[in-house]
């Protein structure tokens, strides 16, 4: 029976060392790329979940009776804590190709576009209405399963997931229903 040294000698005589190395290199690169994509998806979903949760809490505060009495809708963005760090990192020209390899890249891009429009005072309407539009976009993408519900649940805080789960199980309405038709 041949031992490891004999196998190495047989493989080298057959010229398979280059083939084995190339095949091994291919699988290593594929594993690394898949790992990067998985990490990127988790980070993007976590940032979307955190932004969504911060957004809906802020909407609830400013549209409450006490918030309306204090004129809070006019200062909607003052205490709105949205993060774009992960999005900016992966949307940079060096990493954009990897980002747009994701099947949900279009949906993620639309969500961040809506998030970024909230504070844009040049647009017509109120910031809290643009916030509702951004929340509705996240709702829609989870309801139509463009975003992965299981991954969203995995990376969300318990409070954020509880609120989203209420939407997905029909216990609350989507923000889409609360948007002004004008």
Asked if the structure places residue 149 within a domain, the reply is yes
Answer yes or no: are the C-beta atoms of 140 and 133 closer than 8 Å: no
pLDDT above 90 for 133:
yes
In a domain, 77, yes or no: yes
Residue 116 lies in a domain: yes
- Whether residue 97 is contained in a domain is answered as yes
Q: What is the pLDDT of residue 86?
A: 96
If you average pLDDT over each of 24-38, 39-53, 56-70, 120-134, which comes out highest? 39-53
Q: Per mean pLDDT, which range of 5-9, 36-40, 118-122 is the poorest? A: 5-9
Residue 162 DSSP class: H
For residue 30, is it within any domain? no
Q: How many domains does the chain have?
A: 1
Q: What gap in Å lies between CA 179 and CA 136, rounded to an integer?
A: 8
Nearest residue to 136 (alpha-carbon basis) of 162, 172, 169, 88: 172
> Where does 15-155 have alpha helices with state H?
17-62, 65-69, 85-90, 96-99, 105-117, 127-143, 149-155
Residue 10 lies in a domain: no
Instruction: Judge if pTM exceeds 0.95.
Output: no
Per-residue pLDDT reduced to its tens digit, 72-118: 788 888 888 899 999 999 999 988 998 999 999 999 999 999 999 99
Question: Cα dist. 92→96, 130, 163 in Å?
Answer: 6, 25, 31
Residue 1 lies in a domain: no
Query: Sign of the C-alpha dihedral, residues 154, 156, 157, 158?
Result: negative
Q: What is the pLDDT of residue 71?
A: 83
Structural domain span for residue 96: 37-178
């Amino acid at each position: 029976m041949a031992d490891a040294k004999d196998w190495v000698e047989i493989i080298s005589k057959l010229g398979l060392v280059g083939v084995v190395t190339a095949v091994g290199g291919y699988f290593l690169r594929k594993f690394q790329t898949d790992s990067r994509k998985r990490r990127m998806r988790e980070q993007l979903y976590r940032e979307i979940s955190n932004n969504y949760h911060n957004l809906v809490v802020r909407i609830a505060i400013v549209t409450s009776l006490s918030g309306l009495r204090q004129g809070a809708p006019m200062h909607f963005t003052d205490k709105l804590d949205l993060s774009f760090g992960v999005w900016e990192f992966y949307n940079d020209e060096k990493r954009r190709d990897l980002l747009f390899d994701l099947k949900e890249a279009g949906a993620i891009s639309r969500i961040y576009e809506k998030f970024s429009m909230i504070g844009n005072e040049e647009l017509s309407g109120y910031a809290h209405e643009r916030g509702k539009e951004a929340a509705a976009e996240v709702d829609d993408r989870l309801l139509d399963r463009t975003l992965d519900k299981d991954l969203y649940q995995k990376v969300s805080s318990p409070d954020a997931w509880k609120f989203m789960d209420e939407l997905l199980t029909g216990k609350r309405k989507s923000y889409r229903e609360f948007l002004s038709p004008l």
